Amino acid sequence: MHNRVAIVGIGQTTHSGRRPYVNDGELIYDAVTRALADANLSLKDIESVMLGNMDLFEGHHLNDAMLSLYSGAMGKPGFKMNTGGTVGTMLAIQGWYHIASGMFDTCLVIGWEKHDEGPVTPAITTITDPSVDRPFMVGAIGGLATVSIDYMNRTGCKLEHAAMARANASLNAARNPNAHLRDKYSMQDVLNARMVLYPLNLLMCCPTSLGACAMVFASESKARKITKKPVWIKDHVTVHVEYGGAQFGVGEKRWTSHMQAGSTIFKRNHITNPRKETQVFEMYDPFAFAIPSWMEDFGICDTGEGWKLVEKGAIALEGEYPINPSGGVMCTNAIGDSGMLRVAEAALQIRGDAGEHQVTREVKQALASGFGGSYWTDLLLLSKTTD
27 CA to centre of own chain = 19
Minimum distance of other proteins from residue 29's CB (angstroms): 5
**Is the separation of the CB atoms in 300 and 274 below 8 Å?**
yes
* # of chain residues touching other proteins (CB under 8 A): 106
- Window 236 to 295, contacts with other proteins (CB under 8 A): 237-243, 245-247, 249-251, 256-257, 260
Rg (CA), the chain: 19
Distance CA 236, CA 71 (A): 25
Residue 23 makes contact with other proteins by CB under 8 A = yes
Residue 202 makes contact with other proteins by CB under 8 A = no
- Pick the closer one to other proteins by CB: 117 or 277: 117
Q: Is the dihedral of CA 341, 345, 350, 354 positive or negative?
A: positive
Span near other proteins by CB under 8 A; candidates 70-78, 179-187, 214-222, 286-294: 70-78
Binder among 78, 199, 230, 306 for other proteins (CB under 8 A)? 78
List all residues 6 or more positions away from 29 whose beta carbon is below 8 Å from its beta carbon: 70, 71
Report strand pairing: 280-282 vs 5-12: unpaired
- Window 34 to 63, contacts with other proteins (CB under 8 A): 42-43, 49, 54-63
- Window 101 to 130, contacts with other proteins (CB under 8 A): 101-103, 114, 116-119, 121-130
Minimum distance of other proteins from residue 349's CB (angstroms): 25
Report strand pairing: 200-201 vs 49-52: unpaired
Binder among 45, 80, 160, 171 for other proteins (CB under 8 A)? 80
- Pick the closer one to other proteins by CB: 128 or 155: 128
Span near other proteins by CB under 8 A; candidates 88-96, 216-224, 266-274, 320-328: 88-96
Collapsing DSSP to helix, strand or coil, 384 comes out as coil
Minimum distance of other proteins from residue 376's CB (angstroms): 8
Per-residue x/- marks for other proteins, 144-183, CB under 8 A? -xx--x----------------------------------
- Pick the closer one to other proteins by CB: 5 or 169: 5
Residue 135 makes contact with other proteins by CB under 8 A = yes
Minimum distance of other proteins from residue 96's CB (angstroms): 8
Binder among 136, 183, 385, 386 for other proteins (CB under 8 A)? 136
Instruction: Say which amino acid occupies 15.
Output: H
Binder among 93, 152, 309, 343 for other proteins (CB under 8 A)? 93
Residue 193 makes contact with other proteins by CB under 8 A = no
Distance CA 229, CA 352 (A): 9
List all residues 6 or more positions away from 149 whose beta carbon is below 8 Å from its beta carbon: 198, 199
Distance CA 222, CA 105 (A): 7
- Window 327 to 366, contacts with other proteins (CB under 8 A): none
Q: How far from 77 is each of 10, 65, 95, CA to CA, in Å? A: 20, 11, 12
Residue 267 burial (CB count, 10 A): 11
Q: Is 242 exposed, middle or buried (0-12, 13-18, 19+ CB in 10 A)?
A: exposed
Residue 207 makes contact with other proteins by CB under 8 A = no
- Pick the closer one to other proteins by CB: 33 or 269: 33
List all residues 6 or more positions away from 100 whose beta carbon is below 8 Å from its beta carbon: 2, 3, 4, 5
